[in-house]
Each structure stands twice: as structure tokens, then as C-alpha cells.
Amino acid sequence: NAGVTQTPKFRILKIGQSMTLQCAQDMNHNYMYWYRQDPGMGLKLIYYSVGAGITDKGEVPNGYNVSRSTTEDFPLRLELAAPSQTSVYFCASSTTGGSAEAFFGQGTRLTVV
Amino acid sequence: DQQVKQNSPSLSVQEGRISILNCDYTNSMFDYFLWYKKYPAEGPTFLISISSIKDKNEDGRFTVFLNKSAKHLSLHIVPSQPGDSAVYFCAARALNDYKLSFGAGTTVTVRA
């Protein structure tokens, strides 16, 4: 059972480049999330989705875009990379809100130089 | 504005002793609380949770206590083991909301 899979694990981008962080889950979860973790900080919510075709902004959405065309996939797009986007990115999924905990992927470490 | 706060960035404890991790929150709408454990180069994994209708939840060596009036919760690990060395995140969610607010984490080191 793969759970939540993120690719790539590491990436170095130059300022102004763009890239897509991939996230896929095989648990048939409706809810999916993108978080970023900066050193010494907790996880900050970037975007989330409550189902295919539905996305919404979290706490720190600027500089990012998402789409949710299927239940399984929730890619995160960086259009013009900036040094402030250097971080570790985590994708997560969960079942209906309630008491269901979120399952996290292994993370993508992104460095923008 | 940080709604979930873990004021101790690190904790060092001897193997076999108790580890106590603290967490405070400011949002009175939070009604469900979770603890996550994170090893280096891995994603957070769920450890234990508690609903606001309870004041204690126990799972093996892990117990979470909730004091709603003080807006405070704590995680007790007894006895602490070397494999417990990790970063522990406190998280909270409001009723009918699926988005989690996280604290900054506490790094626990268990000494042999």
C-alpha cells in the first residue's frame, strides 16, 4: 500500500524557473493538502482540495497554483520560483473531516538559488 | 498568527524516563487535537489524538492530556525509548473543518 507518494524528493531550481511537484494517493481520500515547512516552523497550509475539481487557498498560497482533476492526484505548481520558496513541501490526504487524521508523503526538499 | 504553540523547541530525556511535551492553543473553536511524529527525511506520521469531549487518551506508552479551560495539551511518553527520538508536532482542528493548524514542533532526544 503506497499511501501518499510525492515526486521528486529533491530539486534545485534557479530563480524564475517553474516546476510542478507531484502528489498521488491510493487511499481514495477526498481531502488533499499541500503544506510547506520552513526551518524551526510548523507546517503551513498552501492549498487544499475537498474533492476532484474543487480547490481552495490555505494560509500561504502566493506563488503557487494547484489543480485536482482526479481523486488520486494533486499537483502543486510553482510558476516563477523565488528564494522565499526554498522549503520542504509535504502533500497529505485524509478521509472526511471528522476525526480522520491526515496521511503525509515523504516530502520534497526544494532549493531556489 | 500562530494559533498552536509549542514553546519548547527541544527536549532531552534519559532512556526509560518520562518525556512530557507541551502545546498551547489560542483558537477556542479548536475541538480536535493530534500529535504527529517526524523522523528526518520522512513525512509526519500520526501518533495519537484527542477530542475536546475528553481530557485524556491513552495508547500504549503514549498519553495525551487536554485542559480546555487552559487551552493546553500535553503528550506523555512513558517509558521513553531511543526510537522515540524525533520531532513531535502538535496540531489542532476546528469542528467540521478538515484543515490542521500545526505548532513549530519539539525535537525529542532520548539518551541511552
DSSP per residue, A46-92: EEEEEETTEEEE-S--TTEEE--SSSSB--EEESS--GGG-EEEEEE
Residue B82 DSSP class: G
Taking the C-alpha atoms of residue A34 and residue A91, their distance in angstroms, rounded to an integer, is 5
Residue of A nearest to B89 (CA): A42
- Convert the pLDDT of each residue in B70-98 to its tens digit: 999 999 999 999 999 999 999 999 887 87
Interface of A with B (CB under 8 A): 4, 31, 33, 35, 40-45, 48, 50, 58, 90, 92, 94, 96-97, 99, 101-107
Contacts of B83 (CB under 8 A, 6+ apart): B110
CB contact B106 to A (< 8 Å): no
Give B99's contacts in chain A (Cβ within 8 Å).
33, 45, 48, 58
Taking the C-alpha atoms of residue B30 and residue B24, their distance in angstroms, rounded to an integer, is 11
Give B105's contacts in chain A (Cβ within 8 Å).
42
CA distance B30 to chain A (A): 12
Residue A101 DSSP class: P
The amino acid at residue B75 is L
The pLDDT value given to residue A97: 54
- Convert the pLDDT of each residue in A54-72 to its tens digit: 999 999 999 999 999 999 9
The pLDDT value given to residue B18: 98
